[in-house]
Structure 1
Amino acid sequence: MDRNPTIYLAGDSTVRNYDKSQYPQAGWGQFLGNYLTKTVTIKNYAVGGLSSKTFITEGHLSRIDSEIAENDYLFIQFGHNDSTRNRADRFTEPYGDYQIYLKQYIDLAKSKKAIPILLTPVARLNYVQDRFSPDFSEYCNAMKELANENEVLLIDLMSIGVQYLSSIGYTMAQELYMLSVNGTDCTHFTERGANIMARLVSEQLIELPNGLDQLIK
């Protein structure tokens, strides 16, 4: 690489940075640097409550557009908020405007000679009848379809997360989510959970081309 790369993160509340006043809640994006070399810069533009649509309409993708450059990476994780049918402002149809909006992220990265990487929505603590189950299946499948059609790298974070939760069991898994703090939240992570999800992302980067393995400690 001619210059040290920057990883830009576009996502929602499961990815975003949190300050100390919100402890112990955290997003995996704020821990990704723990697993990367010091040559990598991470710019986390993820914002809570946003979908693939509202991240664009509220101007956040434009901010990335003004900075991202050749050999940088754009990580794109949306789906949680896209699925909220009762919120017309952020809802998207999985095989309709969800794919159309995601394509804008892909096209932006490619236009700057940066590398887009799609990530399926991260796993929630969905535990029913003694097993962990994936959520947002239509959105995950629509993202995979888009990645295949556009020859874009993809990390299936939903499947990887569910596999990991299954391997440690519910008692340990619940400690990774804010449910263990407030008794209600099966979506957002504690710092421990966010750190583990960041590790799972980094482990997948080793398997991808485009020099990503060189960025891992």
Structure 2
Amino acid sequence: MTTIFIAGDSTAAKKETDKRPEAGWGEYLEAYLAPGYHVSNHAMNGRSTKSFIEEGRLDAIDKALKPGDFLFIQFGHNDQKVTEDRGTQPDGEYQSYLAQYVDVAKKHDAQAVLLTSVTRRDFYEGQLNQATLGAYPQAMSEFAKEQQLPLLDMYQITQDLYQNLGYEETKALHLQLAPGEHPNYPEGVTDNTHFNETGAKQIAQLVAKAIKDAGLLPTTV
């Protein structure tokens, strides 16, 4: 069986029960892949390219990868937090850390696949902020071109989705709850970064379509 390993942040990560209905797209990707492909989701909330490595999470993938597997790499949201230890500069450390993930994949004759970050739901006066992830999507794209690696441009894909849906409709994809609506969030929550289960499933479908369009793997979408 071919395994798709995911190294990434909260937008892809599996959530604990006390965080539901928050969800990550990596939880649902396998449902949209053809039989014979398994997803091993190592994405974690709050991680950047840097902190994921420093915590030994890439080492765990290194030990499990085998020839023919895939390593999907999606970071940017937390790399953008440059005032914190986990932050990286897009044209410096960010790409240097990405190279470490690629080296691990190459060592095992696995295929590294780079994904630009999914967008935030960042609207101002009804207009979606096209630069909400700063220079990180472009830095990822440039790195993919330089390394001659497959790129799934999830930033542009999700930007297009949000532009089409608009301000109100995109609320249905995110963790947004009124006070008392869910026991995990008694005071309510308005989160424009993290997905609910509906949103995570929709993004997973878009990732699967991008995989199919890139000719990487057979999918059911």
Which TM bucket (shorter chain)? Answer: over 0.9
Q: Shift of the alpha carbon at 1:180?
A: 4.4
1:127, 1:179 → 2: CA distance? 15
* Identical amino acids, percent of aligned pairs: 38
Report matched runs for 1:118-133 at 5 Å.
118-133=114-129
Q: Shift of the alpha carbon at 1:169?
A: 2.1
Aligned to 2:92: 96
Match of 1:156 among 134, 149, 153: 153
- 2:74 equivalent to 1:68: no
Residue type at the aligned position of 1:13:
S
Is the Cα contact below 8 Å between 2:209 and 2:219 reproduced in 1?
no
Residue type at the aligned position of 1:123:
T
Q: Deviations over 1:138-178 (max 9, x none)?
A: 11111111100000111111110011112122221111111
Secondary structure of the residue aligned to 2:28 is helix
Secondary structure of the residue aligned to 2:5 is strand
Q: Shift of the alpha carbon at 1:129?
A: 2.9
Unmatched 5+ stretches in structure 1: none
Secondary structure of the residue aligned to 1:7 is strand
Is the Cα contact below 8 Å between 2:22 and 2:197 reproduced in 1?
yes
1:15, 1:37 → 2: CA distance? 20
1:5, 1:193 → 2: CA distance? 26
Residue type at the aligned position of 2:172:
E
Secondary structure of the residue aligned to 1:37 is coil
Aligned to 2:215: 209
Is the Cα contact below 8 Å between 1:5 and 1:39 reproduced in 2?
yes
CA RMSD in angstroms comes to 1.4
Aligned to 1:188: 194
Residue type at the aligned position of 2:207:
V
Change (3 A) 1:145 1:104: same
Residue type at the aligned position of 1:170:
Y
Alignment length (residue pairs): 211
Secondary structure of the residue aligned to 1:13 is coil
Unmatched 5+ stretches in structure 2: 179-187
Is the Cα contact below 8 Å between 1:30 and 1:44 reproduced in 2?
yes
Aligned to 2:80: 83
1:43, 1:139 → 2: CA distance? 25
Report matched runs for 1:124-143 at 5 Å.
124-134=120-130, 135-143=132-140
Is the Cα contact below 8 Å between 1:10 and 1:77 reproduced in 2?
yes
Q: Deviations over 1:150-209 (max 9, x none)?
A: 001111111100111121222211111113453431100011011111011001011113
TM-score, normalised with respect to structure 1: 0.93
- 2:32 equivalent to 1:35: yes
Is the Cα contact below 8 Å between 1:40 and 1:215 reproduced in 2?
no
2:34, 2:148 → 1: CA distance? 27
Q: Shift of the alpha carbon at 1:130?
A: 2.1
TM-score, normalised with respect to structure 2: 0.91
Is the Cα contact below 8 Å between 1:155 and 1:204 reproduced in 2?
yes
Q: Shift of the alpha carbon at 1:22?
A: 1.8
Q: Which shifted more, 29-38 or 188-197?
A: 29-38
1:60, 1:86 → 2: CA distance? 23
Residue type at the aligned position of 2:95:
Q
